[in-house]
Amino acid sequence: MDTESTESTERLTIRRPDDWHLHLRDGAALAAVVGHSARRFARAIVMPNLRPPVVTTADALAYRARILAALPRGADFTPLMTLYLTEATTPEELRAAKASGVVHAVKLYPAGATTNSAAGVRDLMTPAITAALATMEAIDLPLLIHGEVTDPEVDIFDREAVFIDRLLRPLVERFSRLRVVLEHVTTADGVDFVRGYGSAAEGGRVGATITAHHLLLNRNHLLVGGVQPHHYCLPVLKRERHRRALVAAATSGDRRFFLGTDSAP
């Protein structure tokens, strides 16, 4: 990082950043938005929740080719591909993904939790899912998690905290070498959970992405004065104390927290 000063201005120069959580969609939407990310970011972890989802290495290679074809001429941008975890995901497919050098992680969507998540996981502890997780642990293929329960009895503002207690903590303890990223963390509970593994200076096997909008806004921005639809997002905005916890994590220098814009057309 370099700083140049004059009498009236100060310029701060940083290395070109990466986006560790990006949706590019496909078709016309992909063509419309990929240039915006390519202008600002060097690399991005590309989410696999297309219709149909990216579930095989062949799917990921084909999607990567479409992304590269849609880039503006001269763009220097590397899409880092992911697979969508389902009950049909096999250890063989995961090994092929790792060997490809193109697939960098696997995304876990609880079924029904967010956009295009209908094909996601309904039970983390089925034989098929635990076999997939054990394989990922063995070959060092990270798991990216949309960390919310879909239980209708759980208040929408509590879905991340409940997911951590019910599902994420047992998963991380059972698969003790699996690298895990809690995507778009929104709560102090999530921040505290991540801090329980590794260290700020060296990082650890558990991390979290943080979005700009969850740093800027709390649920008052969504609800006060009537519903503000332009502030609606998933996961939903939380209390101010949670926003402050995210800001503290993002500005702490802790290597376990990093930018994932969750940009999504």
Which residues are catalytically annotated?
262
Residue 44 CA, chain-centre distance (Å), reads: 10
Tokens of 235: 């996961």
Nearest to 18 by CA among 224, 216, 210, 259: 259
The Cα 123–Cα 105 span in angstroms is 20
Nearest to 260 by CA among 32, 34, 81, 17: 17
Nearest to 46 by CA among 260, 199, 198, 204: 260
The Cα 110–Cα 122 span in angstroms is 6
Is the dihedral angle over the CA atoms 95, 100, 104, 110 positive or is it negative?
negative
Tokens of 163: 């997911």
* CB-count burial class (<10 Å; 0-12, 13-18, 19+) for 153: exposed
Strands 206-210 and 180-182: parallel
